[in-house]
Amino acid sequence: MVLVRGATFALIASGLILGACSAERPFGPTVGDVFGGGGPTKASSTRPGIGVNAFLWRATLDTMAFMPLANADPWGGVIIYDWYSDPATPNERFKATVFILDTRLRADALNVTVTKEVRDETGQWAGARVAAQTETDLENAILTKARQLNLQNAG
Protein backbone atom coordinates (compact mmCIF):
# COMPACT_ATOMS: atom_id res chain seq x y z
CA MET A 1 0.00 0.00 0.00
CA VAL A 2 2.82 2.42 0.89
CA LEU A 3 4.59 1.55 -2.37
CA VAL A 4 1.44 2.38 -4.36
CA ARG A 5 1.06 5.74 -2.59
CA GLY A 6 4.73 6.55 -3.20
CA ALA A 7 4.40 5.65 -6.88
CA THR A 8 1.25 7.77 -7.15
CA PHE A 9 3.01 10.72 -5.53
CA ALA A 10 5.99 10.32 -7.90
CA LEU A 11 3.65 10.19 -10.89
CA ILE A 12 1.80 13.34 -9.80
CA ALA A 13 5.05 15.18 -9.06
CA SER A 14 6.52 14.28 -12.44
CA GLY A 15 3.30 15.43 -14.14
CA LEU A 16 3.56 18.79 -12.40
CA ILE A 17 7.18 19.17 -13.47
CA LEU A 18 6.45 18.19 -17.06
CA GLY A 19 3.42 20.48 -17.13
CA ALA A 20 5.63 23.38 -16.11
CA CYS A 21 7.87 22.62 -19.11
CA SER A 22 5.17 23.07 -21.74
CA ALA A 23 5.78 25.16 -24.82
CA GLU A 24 3.08 27.58 -23.73
CA ARG A 25 4.99 28.66 -20.62
CA PRO A 26 8.74 28.23 -20.22
CA PHE A 27 9.91 26.46 -17.09
CA GLY A 28 10.85 28.92 -14.35
CA PRO A 29 10.33 32.66 -14.06
CA THR A 30 9.82 34.56 -17.27
CA VAL A 31 10.90 38.12 -17.95
CA GLY A 32 7.32 39.19 -17.24
CA ASP A 33 7.38 37.38 -13.88
CA VAL A 34 10.46 39.21 -12.74
CA PHE A 35 9.59 42.60 -14.18
CA GLY A 36 5.84 42.54 -13.53
CA GLY A 37 5.01 42.28 -17.25
CA GLY A 38 5.68 45.95 -17.96
CA GLY A 39 9.37 45.93 -18.73
CA PRO A 40 12.31 46.35 -16.40
CA THR A 41 12.19 48.93 -13.65
CA LYS A 42 14.39 49.22 -10.62
CA ALA A 43 11.54 48.54 -8.19
CA SER A 44 10.05 45.58 -10.04
CA SER A 45 13.39 43.86 -10.77
CA THR A 46 13.84 43.30 -7.03
CA ARG A 47 10.28 42.15 -6.38
CA PRO A 48 10.15 39.66 -3.48
CA GLY A 49 9.46 36.02 -4.28
CA ILE A 50 11.64 35.71 -7.37
CA GLY A 51 15.26 35.33 -6.37
CA VAL A 52 16.90 35.11 -9.78
CA ASN A 53 17.45 37.09 -12.93
CA ALA A 54 15.02 35.86 -15.59
CA PHE A 55 17.51 36.45 -18.42
CA LEU A 56 20.14 34.30 -16.68
CA TRP A 57 17.52 31.64 -15.95
CA ARG A 58 16.29 31.41 -19.54
CA ALA A 59 19.82 31.64 -20.95
CA THR A 60 20.93 28.77 -18.72
CA LEU A 61 18.07 26.55 -19.85
CA ASP A 62 18.76 27.40 -23.50
CA THR A 63 22.54 27.02 -23.30
CA MET A 64 22.49 23.79 -21.31
CA ALA A 65 19.58 22.21 -23.22
CA PHE A 66 21.86 19.43 -24.48
CA MET A 67 22.05 18.01 -20.94
CA PRO A 68 19.14 16.25 -19.23
CA LEU A 69 17.48 18.41 -16.59
CA ALA A 70 17.36 16.72 -13.17
CA ASN A 71 15.95 19.47 -10.96
CA ALA A 72 15.28 23.19 -11.08
CA ASP A 73 14.34 25.72 -8.42
CA PRO A 74 13.46 29.04 -10.12
CA TRP A 75 13.01 30.87 -6.83
CA GLY A 76 16.22 29.60 -5.24
CA GLY A 77 18.18 29.90 -8.48
CA VAL A 78 19.54 26.35 -8.70
CA ILE A 79 19.43 24.23 -11.84
CA ILE A 80 20.80 20.69 -11.61
CA TYR A 81 21.59 18.71 -14.73
CA ASP A 82 21.91 14.94 -14.81
CA TRP A 83 24.71 12.91 -16.37
CA TYR A 84 25.41 13.61 -20.02
CA SER A 85 27.72 11.57 -22.22
CA ASP A 86 28.73 12.83 -25.63
CA PRO A 87 28.23 10.06 -28.22
CA ALA A 88 31.73 10.80 -29.56
CA THR A 89 33.26 10.06 -26.13
CA PRO A 90 31.08 7.40 -24.46
CA ASN A 91 33.66 6.72 -21.71
CA GLU A 92 33.23 10.22 -20.26
CA ARG A 93 30.20 11.76 -18.65
CA PHE A 94 29.46 15.14 -17.15
CA LYS A 95 27.02 16.55 -14.63
CA ALA A 96 26.46 20.26 -14.02
CA THR A 97 24.88 22.54 -11.45
CA VAL A 98 24.15 26.19 -12.17
CA PHE A 99 23.63 28.71 -9.38
CA ILE A 100 21.99 32.05 -10.20
CA LEU A 101 22.85 34.24 -7.26
CA ASP A 102 21.21 37.61 -7.94
CA THR A 103 18.29 39.38 -9.57
CA ARG A 104 20.68 41.56 -11.56
CA LEU A 105 22.28 40.57 -14.85
CA ARG A 106 25.90 40.48 -13.73
CA ALA A 107 28.80 38.10 -14.29
CA ASP A 108 29.17 37.46 -10.55
CA ALA A 109 25.50 36.46 -10.34
CA LEU A 110 26.27 33.14 -12.06
CA ASN A 111 28.24 30.10 -10.95
CA VAL A 112 28.57 26.85 -12.90
CA THR A 113 30.07 23.70 -11.41
CA VAL A 114 30.82 20.65 -13.53
CA THR A 115 31.55 17.10 -12.37
CA LYS A 116 33.27 14.62 -14.66
CA GLU A 117 33.58 10.86 -14.52
CA VAL A 118 35.49 8.49 -16.79
CA ARG A 119 35.02 4.77 -17.20
CA ASP A 120 38.02 2.76 -16.04
CA GLU A 121 39.27 -0.54 -17.44
CA THR A 122 36.85 -2.49 -15.20
CA GLY A 123 33.86 -0.55 -16.57
CA GLN A 124 33.27 1.42 -13.35
CA TRP A 125 32.83 5.19 -13.32
CA ALA A 126 35.54 7.13 -11.49
CA GLY A 127 35.82 10.83 -10.75
CA ALA A 128 38.11 12.89 -12.97
CA ARG A 129 39.38 16.46 -13.04
CA VAL A 130 37.44 19.03 -14.98
CA ALA A 131 39.42 21.79 -16.61
CA ALA A 132 38.61 25.10 -14.90
CA GLN A 133 38.18 26.61 -18.36
CA THR A 134 35.18 24.32 -18.96
CA GLU A 135 33.17 25.99 -16.21
CA THR A 136 34.32 29.44 -17.32
CA ASP A 137 33.35 28.72 -20.93
CA LEU A 138 29.86 27.60 -19.87
CA GLU A 139 29.42 30.69 -17.70
CA ASN A 140 30.51 32.93 -20.58
CA ALA A 141 28.12 31.21 -23.00
CA ILE A 142 25.22 31.66 -20.56
CA LEU A 143 26.11 35.31 -19.93
CA THR A 144 26.33 36.01 -23.67
CA LYS A 145 22.90 34.46 -24.23
CA ALA A 146 21.44 36.38 -21.27
CA ARG A 147 22.75 39.67 -22.67
CA GLN A 148 21.18 38.83 -26.05
CA LEU A 149 17.83 38.11 -24.37
CA ASN A 150 18.09 41.37 -22.44
CA LEU A 151 18.70 43.31 -25.65
CA GLN A 152 15.79 41.58 -27.41
CA ASN A 153 13.52 42.48 -24.49
CA ALA A 154 14.61 46.14 -24.57
CA GLY A 155 13.65 46.49 -28.27
Q: In this structure, are residues 81 and 96 in contact, taking their beta carbons and an 8 Å threshold?
A: yes
pLDDT of residue 119: 96
pLDDT at 105 over 50: yes
Residues 6+ apart with CB under 8 A from 41: 35
Rounded CA-CA distance 74/77 in Å is 5
pLDDT of residue 46: 45
pLDDT at 7 over 50: no
3-state helix/strand/coil string of 12-71: HHHHHHHHHCCCCCCCCCCHHHHHCCCCCCCCHHHCCCCCCCHHHHHHHHHHCCCCCEEE
78-84 and 92-100 beta bridge pairing: antiparallel
Average pLDDT, whole number, for the chain? 78
What is the pTM for the complete model shown? 0.68
- Number of domain units in the chain: 1
pLDDT at 49 over 70: no
* Containing structural domain, residue 132: 2-154
pLDDT at 12 over 50: no
Task: Rank 14-18, 30-34, 48-52, 114-118 by mean pLDDT and report only the highest.
Answer: 114-118
